[in-house]
Structure 1
């Protein structure tokens, strides 16, 4: 479940270079450096290093560790600050213990993944002995080791010593792989390091005790003299990143608190005021800095997490029907430019094409997956391969390779990426059947077995058998993908990857991305959680998921939290309301309002979402007995009258949703969603929030989504908003703007909402800061 604690975080301020160097010094630095970086009292301490014991040899031991711990010689009455201790191996703890950092790579093998500029939550268990106050800081460094972000953490569960913060790796970008800026952006990608620094908050500990002692007149002189020494030491600390005026403020406070001519309360006030508290928040005195061992965060390119997909079939795009004969003239790659333009106008940024390869003739499927194809039936594009070629050939009925390259070039002009479906399967007519018969599974009678997914049968498809020559198949697929990448493809949508060995995909994706790091992979896999996680580990950036069947409030609540959680450091669920293979009962039964409801949930419930064309025309006729469309486009050419789309308003809604998503940083992350309580079982409400430090605008970004799941009846509910959790004022109304309608509302803690499907199926509310 995604968590939010940013409202409790202290504001951050950039440290100077000296502070950065001190704060992030290696735990294995010399004891002399450790002592100098941690303490600078008015009388500089003498630091001695104990001689290394010969008995210990080169082998790490407790004795050898102790020999490198700093020893500080103090003046009489002077209190020793806690030192930074060396920690040379992962099992060693620092002076402050830092444990259980999340997110963390699986088995220390598979790193967590985020998109460049995507916000994500980090937590850790941080503690010290006794009742001393502590603090924690999270630090992100890019692949070249440069510190890119330093943020204070907040204690969100004192009983469990749990600290949390929201971070982001780099800045959000819309740069595409073909843009001139791509080489510079590419250098930001790769393995970043995350370190959590625990440290003793000496000032907070002192102030807590000093207030009590002054109030009850208990050992006041010692308490205040100790505070004077502490403030002087603080002023001299390079790690604090203080300006000259801030150092002067601390020194003047130290002088006043050391003035015995003043009474106790006057002296304490010199160190207990807003100016000192501001310095404590922004430039704290950090003793015993204890950095964790680095955790890896793999930062991926734009569109790896935040994507809006649009799918169409080139053979249907621009298809016409002769009004006299009824004969259909299919579309081509050239006429498919209209699909690109429609996708761009609606604000999508990836166009996904099904296979564009030659289609086999043997066992070709007819309309609605019938076993007998008529003379005009084009067959399924997933029955790949004929005498005209296989996976390396453009179907001549669609055009040529040059036509495909021109389509990609036009897509790039429209700022669209082309995703190509790569189905690793063959028709009986595919050249591989003769060239590599050992690549297919045979029955005992010597015939090749066609594909099955009982009760479904795919008589027009031969599945690949990976047992005989997996290395050879890998090399072939790598060369094929290189071919299409050179033509302009930047994303592959892989059909049924869970029916092939995971190791196969691991090898192929590694080889392809080694040469083409910009290439992304989408898994069309509806399967078990373990397999989905494994596919994510080996390089599938996004995946289809079970969103189409999550239609009631209780399972939508669960699925939104599952999708937007730590699970998304690996698996990025992409929400598609429909696909050529999926048309649910909900879409069938709920008309225009149902299409609008599911579009809002998909676009706002996941950073990655997709639409299969025809959604704008309310194509919701179900094939009897199946959750798929009647007259499935997989088996025939569709002739659509796009001039009718305006009467439904869905196309305009899709454009609005994509506009809203682009405008709000809160919509870009898989780690910032929380549910909002409301009692009506037909009203679902959730919030996305990014703190001001991470938006890039200097202002927080908060988006609240409220949806009526009932496409036929109005519903009312009171939606509770825990204002303080999101940094919102708790003493006055908050002004919200509905991004869909432009209307404005004032919200507080508990808010009445009424939604009627004939008016508004949803509110998408942004906070006006």
Structure 2
């Protein structure tokens, strides 16, 4: 009797038993006799043949015993043993990615940001994609569904966040919980075969045209049962019941095909497919590294004042009596009242006497001229000393303590330069560049000259300078400083800052750095790579609609993963023609653009008093505060309304999560060259409130004339209903409007220069 061919056996179910071959005693005896009658050589050959035959039989039996699957087998997970290998599903072109493989993208804790990737599978099978957020140890902490935004290019996107937003300060009791979440994180894109969606697409067609309906519905029932048992889907008991009940309905042949299919077309299953899908053939990308930074690293509001002007007044002899660190408490309280959370001070160190500058940068100082605080160092001390005219180190510590009580961080200007009287000049003459005649060269940028400043030369002893700077920064951090604003860092070696920032943050990881670097893009990017958390930028000189739209997108685009542009309308060194020429309305316009156009913005005090007179021939203020003490009448701010506007803008920013990200701004089309419109949006799952947050900002850029414009918003692109009006609330005026696709806006500088609209959910 010939042995049966088990490989030809029809495939039915995995539980069917293979046929058993019957062997008679007679045939067995005959085989035994035949084997024993052979010669030794023949017996050896027969044994080898028998062994080979046995091996083939075992293989055949193993194959026959392997479980068989009805219908198509689910896509397997294919192990990747090297970074360049593909998984079962293909994942390419992830953004953001680690720059040059070295510098990870940077985000603030809880900051919403966009992740994109190409995810695809062969043929007409449907794919799905997920963003997996993992801690430094690779453990998944959160998972976000991705949406295919461009099927033709297989482009998938998702807004995600790492950790939860916090307003805790480094000195707060619960800050340790924030600190534990900072540092290295990973994001992995997970592609997968969307077996359910592929099946549903085909099944709906087959039921409609009555083609192989029974097999289609039976496959669906089995798929739902497998989905309910999938650990990866992280289903609750209630979720599993929904799927199993639908599977039972699908198997119920007493119902019509349409009724059976309807069981899986419910909103509950649709929601499960969105949040807890069945992910076959799960394929992970290479991990993308992220650096998560502390609160205020991205979302911050700065306020600058000079302590010597705070509390200054005219004495009986008509001379100015300067303020000091004690009278500067008034500045802290004003900043807090206006809603700012960082107070930034210029250098507070002793000021040199040699070549001291006078008013408006004149070369000769008068007897009462205090000099520029950037001419650092005298016989009284250098960068590690409080100017005695401002007070003592204890006064500064008390100043910081009061700031902390008000919820304010203190940022200290660190200008790495010296007056000719600085102690370093004698102690470390090799730190300064000399001329051929042996004299030290003062700073210059021909034709500009800074006779009161000696620039430091880093070529002779950079390591020694680094150690001294680290010592000094440590001293100020222990006194209460949590942020350093570094003056002109681009004029020093990038490697110098890389070493210093690494050393300071290793000891004090809470310390942030702001770069005052108006320079080339490459240098700006390099400074951000080495640890400058935020940067001054070219916002003051972006004034036309075209310039602003381009700069808003640049600031809030992929560059925002590295360089955090901080928008300042003015500084002690910058007063543009726009601010000079557009009066109160111009100040309001620039404040709205700065506060709503970037998560980080700043105001130099005096802005509330419309201090906008330029020094002839220069884009800076006349009677510059860098060279003199200012006496201000803070009681007169009410007649301008700017202080009230600043307070409102900070309140809006603090209230709305959409204002906290460098990655959620969209320009809206508007048909008037004098009107700019943009939208910020953070989805419901990232706001912490359970509701999406959308802000629409429209600004009239003309400080003298009214402008009207049609502002277009593609409602469906932002998840809004397309069949009913969009309700919006103006946060500045309290008025309510209804918006559609195209919206008429009229703004006049003598009434409203801007709308800051919140979308109101029904």
TM-score by structure 2 length? 0.90
Matching of residue 270 in structure 1 with residue 270 in structure 2: no
Partner of 1:679: 671
Matches within 5 A, 1:501-580: 501-580=493-572
2:105–2:289 CA contact under 8 A, matched in 1: yes
Matching of residue 602 in structure 1 with residue 594 in structure 2: yes
Q: Aligned partners of 2:344, 2:601: CA distance in 1, in Å? A: 12
Partner of 2:309: 316
Residue 161 of structure 2: which of 151, 154, 168 is its match?
Answer: 168
Q: Aligned partners of 1:187, 1:77: CA distance in 2, in Å? A: 49
**Which segment is superposed worse, 75-84 or 376-385?**
75-84
**Which segment is superposed worse, 741-750 or 721-730?**
721-730
**Which segment is superposed worse, 253-262 or 171-180?**
253-262
Partner of 1:298: 291
RMSD of equivalent CA atoms = 1.8
Partner of 1:764: 756
Structure number with larger C-alpha Rg: 2
Q: Aligned partners of 2:482, 2:696: CA distance in 1, in Å? A: 33
Matching of residue 343 in structure 1 with residue 335 in structure 2: yes
Matching of residue 91 in structure 1 with residue 61 in structure 2: no
Q: Aligned partners of 1:358, 1:72: CA distance in 2, in Å? A: 88
Matches within 5 A, 1:338-417: 338-417=330-409
Partner of 1:331: 323
Q: Deviations over 1:33-64 (max 9, x none)?
A: xxxxxxxx99699xxxxxxxxxxxxxxxxxxx
Q: Aligned partners of 2:275, 2:261: CA distance in 1, in Å? A: 21
Q: Deviations over 1:593-639 (max 9, x none)?
A: 11111011001100000000111111011000000000111111111
Q: Aligned partners of 2:142, 2:692: CA distance in 1, in Å? A: 17
Partner of 1:477: 469
1:72–1:80 CA contact under 8 A, matched in 2: no
Q: In structure 2, do the counterparts of structure 1 residues 253 and 644 end up closer, same or farther at CA, with 3 Å as the change threshold?
A: closer
Q: In structure 2, do the counterparts of structure 1 residues 133 and 321 end up closer, same or farther at CA, with 3 Å as the change threshold?
A: same
Counterpart secondary structure, 1:218? coil
Partner of 2:54: none
Structure 1 residue 185: Cα displacement? 1.1
Q: Aligned partners of 2:69, 2:637: CA distance in 1, in Å? A: 85
Matching of residue 704 in structure 1 with residue 696 in structure 2: yes
TM-score by structure 1 length? 0.89
2:680–2:694 CA contact under 8 A, matched in 1: yes
Partner of 2:585: 593
Residue 731 of structure 2: which of 734, 739, 745 is its match?
Answer: 739
Residue 439 of structure 1: which of 416, 431, 436 is its match?
Answer: 431
Q: Aligned partners of 2:516, 2:65: CA distance in 1, in Å? A: 62
Matches within 5 A, 1:5-404: 73-75=66-68, 77-143=70-136, 145-322=138-315, 324-404=316-396
Q: Aligned partners of 1:315, 1:246: CA distance in 2, in Å? A: 66
List runs of 5+ in structure 1 lacking aligned partners. 1-40, 46-69
Matching of residue 618 in structure 1 with residue 610 in structure 2: yes
Q: In structure 2, do the counterparts of structure 1 residues 547 and 275 end up closer, same or farther at CA, with 3 Å as the change threshold?
A: closer
Q: Aligned partners of 1:632, 1:93: CA distance in 2, in Å? A: 62
Structure 1 residue 251: Cα displacement? 2.8
Q: In structure 2, do the counterparts of structure 1 residues 43 and 575 end up closer, same or farther at CA, with 3 Å as the change threshold?
A: farther
1:143–1:189 CA contact under 8 A, matched in 2: no
Q: Aligned partners of 2:394, 2:268: CA distance in 1, in Å? A: 68
Q: In structure 2, do the counterparts of structure 1 residues 490 and 245 end up closer, same or farther at CA, with 3 Å as the change threshold?
A: closer
Partner of 1:24: none
Q: Aligned partners of 2:262, 2:696: CA distance in 1, in Å? A: 43
Q: In structure 2, do the counterparts of structure 1 residues 453 and 43 end up closer, same or farther at CA, with 3 Å as the change threshold?
A: farther
